[in-house]
Structure 1
Amino acid sequence: MNNKFLPLLSFLLLIVLSSCSDSSSDEFDDANPDAVARYIETIAIVSAQDSEEDINITVNYDANDRVSSITNGTDTSLFVYNNGDLSNVSGGGDNLSIEELYQSPYDAFETGVVNQYDNNGNPVNITFYEMEYDFNTDDYIQVEYTAEVSYDSEPNPYFYTLEAAGIIDVLDQVDLNVTFNTSSPEIIQARALFPLNNISSITYRDDEGVLLYEINADYVYNDVDYPTSGTVTATAYEDDFNGGVNTYTSIYSATYTYRD
């Protein structure tokens, strides 16, 4: 399995609770019984601070309506199919990762362990670990952080795009598809981290509960509950040398288009 597939899967894989035998598709349908299929064509993310942070993501489809590639203009992931099934993803980039889309500085949705789910099966409390520099020891140490996640009631807008990429089929056959080694710890972990509804906020705290970073997303939805635009506000909290806290806020706007 191409290791560049793992960052992409960290965003794409769907929750499968250890006590539940439903397929990925069934779990999404249970959480979103009225969901209508829509397929992402473009996502444009514009930074209010620095135009060099702007991102334009394009999802391309082949003649069979399958995802053929995802690109941000610099990095491209290419989807390869064999006998109608997804067999590999090559190239670079993790253009649909939560960290990329929400401009998050942490990898909670790539490396985290879910502590709690909501009633829909969304992960709402995640523990993850980061390497941070310790000025006292002049070395890097592993620190424990927590991510608290909230959701809108609308469905995850990426689900049907992932289905068109063959990834949902991979999940539904997780014990059978040895091509992707879907029994690996990384993939099993990634499965547990995928949200069924659309994320509205993420709050990061350290192991003492101190607030580190907040992300809040406010969306405009169309008549079938897919976001057409949104504003993401990210605020970092950093201790100063006088015992106070400095805050730094960044704002990003996002625009979505879908296939006809």
Structure 2
Amino acid sequence: MKRINYLLVILSLTIINFSCDKFTSEEFDEVNGNVDTKLMSSISVLSAQSSDENAKIIFSYNTDNKLTTIFDGSNTTIFSYEEGSLSNVTGQSGNGNIEELYQSPYNAFEDGQVEEYDNNGNPSVLKFLEYDYNRTTRDYEVVYYTAEISYDNKPNPFYKTAEAAGLISVMDKIRLNFAAALQPEEIVKAKVLFPNNNLSQITYKNEDGEVEHSINLAYTYDGDYPTSATVTSISAVGGNTYSYNTTFSYVGN
């Protein structure tokens, strides 16, 4: 099932070595309680720097409120169903990743692995490789960076949309127990990183623990769901700050 990580926005990590027996849906309900259903219809990102950085992602549904397509302005991801269950995901889309939306210089969510989870079961520390230039040896060397992730005490706003695509049901069938039979790697990756809460900050640190870059999202909420966010992406090297305004729309709004 290609491009599943696109819908879940930040769900492409290498598999980590741990065991978990909880359903994705069970853990989400334990953390958030009863959450009203709102299906995402679009995400619009406006850059304060350049219109070339603007982005819009459109989610479409059928009459049964099942997700059918995601369109990012260039590419379309198509969700197919058989007897009411997700059977296939086809197409290619690339700018749903939060690091791509807000011009992060790193790919922690694509290339890293989960090191820690917080008390709500959200991935809170990712570890990933970087290549730093060593002026003494005049060569690049491999170093480990970390991405520390914080969340608002609000539900993951993409959960109900993922549920409408049948992805929660698919992840519920996965058990992260490596004594178990071989399971689809892409689905396991999605389950490993699926957050229960709404991501609000990413802080990237080098191997010495020094901050290299950060992304901060300050949301405006209507109940459990964000309607907008002011985003700042700050580079410690050079002190550059990039600003974005993001709007979230839902079916029926």
Shared fold per TM-score greater than 0.5: yes
Give the residue type in structure 2 aligned to 1:174: I
Q: Separation in 2 of the partners of 1:6 and 1:36? A: 23
Distance change in 2, residues 1:209/1:33 (3 Å): same
Distance change in 2, residues 1:164/1:12 (3 Å): farther
Moved more, 35-44 or 89-98: 89-98
Q: Is the 8 A contact 1:71 1:95 kept in 2?
A: no
Q: Is 1:252 the equivalent of 2:244? A: yes
Give the residue type in structure 2 aligned to 1:43: I
Q: Separation in 2 of the partners of 1:26 and 1:17? A: 21
Q: Is the 8 A contact 2:205 2:212 kept in 1?
A: yes
Residue correspondence of structure 1 range 78-117 to structure 2 within 5 A: 78-117=78-117
Residue correspondence of structure 1 range 233-244 to structure 2 within 5 A: 233-238=232-237
1:142 is matched with which residue? 142
Give the deviation of 1:59 after TM superposition: 0.3
Distance change in 2, residues 1:231/1:182 (3 Å): farther
Give the residue type in structure 2 aligned to 1:31: V
2:42 is matched with which residue? 42
Q: Which runs of 5+ in 2 are unaligned?
A: 176-180
Residue-by-residue CA offset, 1:33-79 (whole Å, 9 max, x unaligned): 13211110011100000011100110011122111111111121111
Give the residue type in structure 2 aligned to 1:168: I
Q: Is 1:213 the equivalent of 2:213? A: yes
Give % identity. 43
Q: Separation in 2 of the partners of 1:135 and 1:165? A: 50
Distance change in 2, residues 1:52/1:164 (3 Å): same
Q: Separation in 2 of the partners of 1:164 and 1:17? A: 29
Q: Is the 8 A contact 1:111 1:128 kept in 2?
A: yes
Q: Separation in 2 of the partners of 1:82 and 1:151? A: 35
Distance change in 2, residues 1:31/1:107 (3 Å): same
Q: Separation in 1 of the partners of 2:245 and 2:107? A: 21
Give the residue type in structure 2 aligned to 1:230: A
Q: Is the 8 A contact 1:10 1:193 kept in 2?
A: no
Give the deviation of 1:113 after TM superposition: 1.8
1:228 is matched with which residue? 227
Distance change in 2, residues 1:8/1:65 (3 Å): closer
Q: Separation in 2 of the partners of 1:91 and 1:59? A: 14
Residue-by-residue CA offset, 1:180-205 (whole Å, 9 max, x unaligned): x9824454344222211011111001
1:158 is matched with which residue? 158
Q: Separation in 2 of the partners of 1:17 and 1:69? A: 33
What is the number of residues matched between the two proteins?
A: 246
Instruction: State the SS of the aligned residue for 2:109.
Output: helix
Normalising by structure 2, report the TM-score. 0.86
Q: Which runs of 5+ in 1 are unaligned?
A: 176-180, 239-245
1:242 is matched with which residue? none
1:178 is matched with which residue? none
Task: Output the aligned Cα RMSD.
Answer: 2.8
Give the deviation of 1:5 after TM superposition: 4.2
Q: Separation in 2 of the partners of 1:79 and 1:134? A: 46
Instruction: State the SS of the aligned residue for 2:183.
Output: coil
Give the residue type in structure 1 aligned to 2:250: Y
2:59 is matched with which residue? 59
Give the residue type in structure 2 aligned to 1:170: V
Give the deviation of 1:134 after TM superposition: 5.7
Moved more, 134-143 or 47-56: 134-143
2:174 is matched with which residue? 174
Normalising by structure 1, report the TM-score. 0.84
Q: Separation in 2 of the partners of 1:22 and 1:226? A: 25
Give the deviation of 1:165 after TM superposition: 1.0
Distance change in 2, residues 1:10/1:190 (3 Å): farther
1:27 is matched with which residue? 27
Q: Separation in 2 of the partners of 1:131 and 1:49? A: 28
Q: Separation in 2 of the partners of 1:10 and 1:182? A: 25
Give the deviation of 1:174 after TM superposition: 2.1
Give the residue type in structure 1 aligned to 2:84: G
